[in-house]
A and B are shown apart, each in its own frame.
Chain A
Amino acid sequence: MRAVVARFVQIKELPVCVPLVGVYAYFSLNAPGFQDLSGLIDFARQYSCQALLAVGLTMVIASGGIDISVGSIVGLSAVVLGVLLVRSDISVFGACTIAFVTGAICGAFNGFAVAKLRLQPVVVTLSMMATARGLAYVIAGAGVSTISLPPRAQQLVNLAYESMAPILIAVGFAAAAWVMLTKGSFGRCVLAVGGNEQASRLSGVDVQRVKIIVYVISGALAGLGGIITASMMSTATTDAGMGYEFEAITAVLMGGTSISGGEATVVGSVFGVLTAAMLNRGFGLMGISDLYRMMCLGIMLILAVLLDTIRKRFSRSSRFIEGKKVPYRV
């Protein structure tokens, strides 16, 4: 019996399937118009930014770190895009590239501080959270909170607001991350570093390089998320992305990625984002305050980590050798 239970709780995506199916069923029955396809697609589009953040965070958390600066990086990249388009005559593509690179640089900075200076990820990304948001305010200028994108960016706005492009980008990056984590050697290195850093160093993994790369990926995806967020609303706001890190971290941990590193599932993270998106849409349709959604997400986050703890307890015999955690095979 214990073996069956242990086997069952070992499926990493299992915990997220319960809220995913539950939320879908509940709103299908109770929220009129919930199953309306165009509405669902609309929400998937709105949540493509969070999906990108969740994909990046899956990598970071798999490597044993955390990145709480992604929401602020979204804001910084959005403001960089807006300011470049309005106050310079750089091409739209050029502005997007610079915004994207801004995100990647922030990520590189996080990675450098965590890997080379060996600082705690929580503090590093906390300071980046404050710095990136502050920089967004500085770049936007005194008293400016919203920057409307100029007419020449109309094509970009249409692409983000009307086409499936944001969803395809998010799905594409999720697929790439999935391939990377399950098939590629780099993904294996990420999981190895998260599982047991010392052991992976001794087996020849360049731990510092792996850590820097995951933070760069996370920052770059946040930069991309900023571009999508700004162009979808056709305004860059200094508060863009505020609180997104909470939704993304909740989605990742709900999805079955272990907070202590070494175990990751991109599919689960995407399911987590879908759950958050459906909660948002369902509560919106039923006219329930947004605050209940936040409360639900908070409870789900705690339950997800609780489940992770229980799962660890069941699988201890297989994954722990002499009390040391060993990397989990994907």
Chain B
Amino acid sequence: MERHNGSESYSIATRRGIIRVVRKSHTNVPRELPVFAFFVALCLLLSVTARNFATAANLRVLGSDAAATGILAVGMTAVILTGGIDLSVAAVLALSALAGGSFLSRGYLALGLFASVAVGTMCGFINGTLVAYVKMPPIIATLGTLYIIQSAATLASQGQCIILDPNLVSFLGKGLTPLLVLFGISAAAAVVLKYTRFGRHIYAVGGNEESARLSGINPTAVKLAAYAANGFLAAVAGIVMLAIGSTFQANDAAGYELAAIAAVVIGGTSINGGRGSVFGTLIGIGITTVLRNGAILLGLEARWAQAIVGVALFLAVAVDRLRGENSDR
């Protein structure tokens, strides 16, 4: 009963031995359906109650609000699918954006993008090493690197604001482009997770590390790669943020890690790893962004929305628990 929405496996004894048959989840109701229904209902409700919600201008606002946290959440999905967590992504975003921005503000486009991506991947690699090789608990390792990297970012920028050459990357931040970038990255990540060997290994390691190891997967390498990919995507999110704002300060992304984790978990990805999808995360980021946007449109204060997102996060895991997932064992 409990596993109705996940992929099911059962064994068939044949003359030659036992064949394990894995039945794919799409024969059942998709696990993202309840949250998706909630998202649609929320949007409908807001288009009726808030006058400016369903307008083209607001869609652009929603797009640029969702882009950076959304890209972070896509990377976070991979990490959480392996059974880990990464609290340092916002700090990685800040450091890589500042590294890239220091070149971009002087007019070097390629060098700036490269520096940003290199710094982000490097930070992700360090996190991955601590978690996968040193075997530290992910929450503690990344809490430590969060403070180290955030301090490094603030120190390196000396509290200064980086101002970009407006013609350089701002095309990435105009109109609906940030939203399209988010969709593109999500589609790529979904394909990688679903159809490539690396993606299936991520699910396997998160589902049961020991049995993944016994079936010939190297969990250490898979985890390391997931954290590195997460760092890479944090850098991409940083570039998108630079493009949207064309200025950047070290603490501009503070708290984004919580938004990203909330989106992933609301989207139905199990915090224990092994279950979830990028599509769910996209819905999750949609819900948190629309909640925040709706609160502002309805005349509430922006920072109050934090309470709503917190409650939504709790409800999401509680509902998942009632479906027999996300428990601590």
Binding site for B on A (CB under 8 A): 66, 113-114, 117-124, 126-135, 137-138, 142-143, 246, 249-250, 253, 259-260, 289, 291-292, 294-295, 297-299, 301-302, 305-306, 309
Residue B40 CB within 8 A of the other chain? no
Cα-based distance from A24 to B317 in the complex (angstroms): 45
Contact partner, B328, options A119, A253, A289, A297, Cβ 8 Å? A119
Residue on B nearest A310 in the bound complex, by CB = B134
Asked if A131 and B317 make an inter-chain contact with CB atoms under 8 angstroms apart, the answer reads: no
Asked if B147 and A298 make an inter-chain contact with CB atoms under 8 angstroms apart, the answer reads: yes
Query: Measured between C-beta atoms, what is the minimum distance from A327 to chain B in Å?
Result: 18
Asked if B258 and A298 make an inter-chain contact with CB atoms under 8 angstroms apart, the answer reads: no
Given contacts A118-B329, A291-B155, contact A130 B140 (CB under 8 A): no
Binding site for A on B (CB under 8 A): 85, 130, 134-137, 139-141, 143-148, 150-152, 154-155, 258, 261-262, 265, 271-272, 301, 303-311, 313-314, 317-318, 321, 326-329
Asked if B141 and A305 make an inter-chain contact with CB atoms under 8 angstroms apart, the answer reads: yes
Residue on B nearest A301 in the bound complex, by CB = B144
Using Cβ atoms and an 8 Å threshold, which residues of chain B touch A126?
258, 261-262, 313
Using Cβ atoms and an 8 Å threshold, which residues of chain A touch B85?
122
Using Cβ atoms and an 8 Å threshold, which residues of chain B touch A120?
271-272, 317, 326-328
Asked if A124 and B317 make an inter-chain contact with CB atoms under 8 angstroms apart, the answer reads: yes
List 25 A-B residue pairs with CB atoms under 8 Å apart, sorted by A's residue number: A66-B139, A118-B321, A118-B328, A119-B321, A120-B317, A123-B313, A124-B317, A126-B313, A128-B314, A129-B258, A130-B262, A131-B307, A131-B310, A133-B306, A134-B305, A134-B310, A135-B307, A137-B304, A142-B301, A249-B143, A253-B140, A289-B155, A298-B143, A298-B146, A305-B137
Query: Measured between C-beta atoms, what is the minimum distance from A312 to chain B in Å?
Result: 10
Contact partner, B304, options A124, A134, A253, Cβ 8 Å? A134
Contact partner, A119, options B150, B303, B317, Cβ 8 Å? B317
Residue on B nearest A289 in the bound complex, by CB = B155
Using Cβ atoms and an 8 Å threshold, which residues of chain A touch B265?
123
Residue on B nearest A253 in the bound complex, by CB = B140
Query: Measured between C-beta atoms, what is the minimum distance from A266 to chain B in Å?
Result: 19
Query: Measured between C-beta atoms, what is the minimum distance from B129 to chain A in Å?
Result: 11
Residue on A nearest B312 in the bound complex, by CB = A127
Contact partner, A138, options B154, B272, B304, Cβ 8 Å? B304
Asked if B310 and A309 make an inter-chain contact with CB atoms under 8 angstroms apart, the answer reads: no
Cα-based distance from A130 to B139 in the complex (angstroms): 17
Asked if B145 and A298 make an inter-chain contact with CB atoms under 8 angstroms apart, the answer reads: yes
Cα-based distance from A124 to B317 in the complex (angstroms): 8
Using Cβ atoms and an 8 Å threshold, which residues of chain B touch A142?
301
Cα-based distance from A132 to B303 in the complex (angstroms): 12
Asked if A134 and B306 make an inter-chain contact with CB atoms under 8 angstroms apart, the answer reads: yes
Using Cβ atoms and an 8 Å threshold, which residues of chain B touch A119?
317-318, 321, 326-328
Query: Measured between C-beta atoms, what is the minimum distance from A28 to chain B in Å?
Result: 25
Given contacts A260-B137, A298-B151, contact A123 B306 (CB under 8 A): no
Given contacts A129-B310, A131-B311, A294-B150, contact A123 B326 (CB under 8 A): yes
Residue on A nearest B327 in the bound complex, by CB = A118
Given contacts A130-B309, A131-B310, A302-B136, contact A122 B271 (CB under 8 A): yes
Query: Measured between C-beta atoms, what is the minimum distance from B142 to chain A in Å?
Result: 10
Cα-based distance from A306 to B134 in the complex (angstroms): 8
Using Cβ atoms and an 8 Å threshold, which residues of chain B touch A294?
147-148, 150-151
Asked if B140 and A301 make an inter-chain contact with CB atoms under 8 angstroms apart, the answer reads: yes
Asked if B318 and A137 make an inter-chain contact with CB atoms under 8 angstroms apart, the answer reads: no
Using Cβ atoms and an 8 Å threshold, which residues of chain A touch B258?
126, 129-130
Using Cβ atoms and an 8 Å threshold, which residues of chain A touch B271?
120, 122-123
Asked if B318 and A302 make an inter-chain contact with CB atoms under 8 angstroms apart, the answer reads: no
Using Cβ atoms and an 8 Å threshold, which residues of chain A touch B329?
118
Cα-based distance from A302 to B146 in the complex (angstroms): 11
Using Cβ atoms and an 8 Å threshold, which residues of chain A touch B309?
130, 134
Query: Measured between C-beta atoms, what is the minimum distance from A163 to chain B in Å?
Result: 33
Cα-based distance from A155 to B55 in the complex (angstroms): 55
Asked if B306 and A305 make an inter-chain contact with CB atoms under 8 angstroms apart, the answer reads: no
Using Cβ atoms and an 8 Å threshold, which residues of chain A touch B144?
250, 298-299, 301-302, 305
Cα-based distance from A114 to B140 in the complex (angstroms): 19
Using Cβ atoms and an 8 Å threshold, which residues of chain A touch B308?
134
Cα-based distance from A292 to B148 in the complex (angstroms): 9
Using Cβ atoms and an 8 Å threshold, which residues of chain B touch A302?
130, 136, 140-141, 144-145, 148
Asked if B147 and A113 make an inter-chain contact with CB atoms under 8 angstroms apart, the answer reads: no
Asked if A128 and B321 make an inter-chain contact with CB atoms under 8 angstroms apart, the answer reads: no
Residue on B nearest A135 in the bound complex, by CB = B307
Other than the known A123-B265, A126-B313, A130-B313, what 9 A-B pairs have Cβ atoms closer than 8 Å?
A117-B318, A119-B318, A137-B301, A137-B306, A259-B140, A295-B148, A298-B146, A301-B140, A309-B136
Cα-based distance from A133 to B307 in the complex (angstroms): 7
Asked if A301 and B313 make an inter-chain contact with CB atoms under 8 angstroms apart, the answer reads: no
Cα-based distance from A118 to B314 in the complex (angstroms): 12
Using Cβ atoms and an 8 Å threshold, which residues of chain A touch B307?
130-131, 133-135, 137-138
Query: Measured between C-beta atoms, what is the minimum distance from A55 to chain B in Å?
Result: 19
* A117, A126, A297 — most chain B CB neighbours (10 Å): A126
